[in-house]
Amino acid sequence: MKITVINGTEKHGVTYRLKEMFLSEFQDKADITEYYLPKDCPNFCMGCTSCMFKGENTCKDADKISVIEKSLLEADLLVMTSPAYVFHATGAMKAFLDHFAYRWMPHRPAPEMFTKRAVVLTQCLGAGAKSAAKDIKHSLSWWGIPKIGVFTGALMSDIVWDKLSKRKQAELTRKIEKLSRKFARMDYTKPARTKFIIKIKFSFCCFMQKSLHKADPKYLDGKYWAQQGWLDGVRPWK
């Protein structure tokens, strides 16, 4: 199986340590590719909307984005990590997610995403890990991913792992290992089951694309939906 990891920080701190713990269950059974932000996606989306209206290849950052996207599409499991920065995911993670706005369901979602699994790992000192995880999960679910596991943790006493109490270390370790075992047990030869809520969102977007495509057959999103067969009843899930 293949795993693609998007690290929301380049720092080898607590987020990194927890991510390594999560991956330990997969080391001998997965081909793991990791990207680090901002290094691997260093630029902000400038809001030119070229990806939306002219195609993703026209993005000024297409060389970087296309490489990461290929890896995301090929992976059986996506792992997204971030410490909480002012109650949210890191700015680098937000900049990364902005580059994939065109992949949101109302635009041109990738069919591969509708049967994929993902995990979001966030942690913080006191509070904010949950809202940071929500930032990432929100994008993933609108990309169409039906199965998303979430780990959130709060260190409380210190920001350095080795300075945490043994009890806190054990609590976080237990929690991340539980999630890791759960995802390691899954059968990745079978697609994840698409949730009802995703089917509802998809139907709504389909209705919208049908009328947009009818009004302007050259409109890129509508053309994409038509090419996938989605306007004629084909669905990206099994």
Ligand X SMILES: Cc1cc2nc3c(=O)[nH]c(=O)nc-3n(C[C@H](O)[C@H](O)[C@H](O)COP(=O)(O)O)c2cc1C
Q: For binding to ligand X (CB under 6 A), which residues are involved?
A: 9, 11, 13-16, 83-87, 123-128, 155, 159
Minimum CB distance to ligand X smaller for 129 or for 198: 129
Q: Rounded to whole angstroms, what are the CA distances from 19 to 5, 88, 97, 111, 169?
A: 9, 18, 19, 27, 14
CB of 71 to ligand X, least distance (A): 22
| DSSP 8-state class, residue 102 | G
Which residue number has the CB closest to ligand X?
A: 13
> What 3-state DSSP class applies to 33?
strand
Minimum CB distance to ligand X smaller for 42 or for 126: 126
Q: Rounded to whole angstroms, what are the CA distances from 177 to 77, 170, 181, 184, 220?
A: 16, 10, 6, 10, 43
Minimum CB distance to ligand X smaller for 71 or for 152: 152
CB of 122 to ligand X, least distance (A): 9
Minimum CB distance to ligand X smaller for 131 or for 228: 131
> What 3-state DSSP class applies to 21?
helix
CB of 222 to ligand X, least distance (A): 41
**CA angle, 132 then 170 then 7, to 5°:** 35
CB of 149 to ligand X, least distance (A): 19
Half-sphere exposure in the Cβ direction for 209 (13 Å, CA): 25
Q: Give the Cα separation of 152 and 178 in Å (integer).
A: 13
| Helix runs in the chain, H state only | 14-24, 50-53, 62-74, 91-98, 129-143, 166-184, 196-215, 220-228
CB of 10 to ligand X, least distance (A): 9
Minimum CB distance to ligand X smaller for 91 or for 111: 91
Minimum CB distance to ligand X smaller for 128 or for 191: 128
CB of 61 to ligand X, least distance (A): 24
